[in-house]
Amino acid sequence: MNKFDKLSGIAAPMPMVNIDTDMIIPKQFLKTIKRSGLGVNLFDEMRYDRDGNEVPDFVLNKPQYRETQILVAGDNFGCGSSREHAPWAIADFGITCVIAPSFADIFYSNCFKNGILPIALPQEQVDLLMKDAEKGSNARIEVDLEAQTITSSDGDVFTFQVDAFKKHCLMNGLDDIGLTMEKAASIDSFESAAAQARPWV
């Protein structure tokens, strides 16, 4: 998993509330167990028409937002079923930070395990960042995880809260497997001692 420290980029505005995991990645794309390749189907039913053509008015299809790394969204983002494919699709598209007034609990936790920083801010601050994001390529938002700040293109600074352990994992690029591998020496030592103590096992 890539380390997350600072991020500066174009933010895409999605003011919809209750964006659920089925909207993020529809159920027909859940057959894979690979984390890669799902970005093309992110928000599939909103990005494409029934013939598979791009919907020009959808935000991520607009030229200024095709390379966005930050998403500013409405309340209760990631609600619905607990499919981990949702953060997989977001990360595969290239988005590594989602800002919203609130998130569904399971989705929120899954983001950290997949290299995405979800930031919950008061509605009035999200509204200001949403307006900033609507400027498109004329505006860049900066996210500093170590300092726990967001700086708008106008220089407004907002602070956010994040669990210290989750912050540590993101800044060091540690998912569940990475956390386990940090203890590899201790695990090897235990297994060696156990094998000597119980050779019949």
pLDDT in tens, 80-119: 988 899 999 999 999 999 999 999 999 999 999 999 999 9
Q: If you average pLDDT over each of 28-42, 73-87, 183-197, which comes out highest?
A: 73-87
Task: List the domains of the chain with CATH numbers.
Answer: 6-173 (3.20.19.10)
Edge-to-edge strand ranges of the sheet holding 97-100: 11-14, 70-73, 97-100, 117-120
Rounded CA separation 22/33 (Å): 17
User: Considering the chain, what percentage of its residues have pLDDT values greater than 70?
Assistant: 90
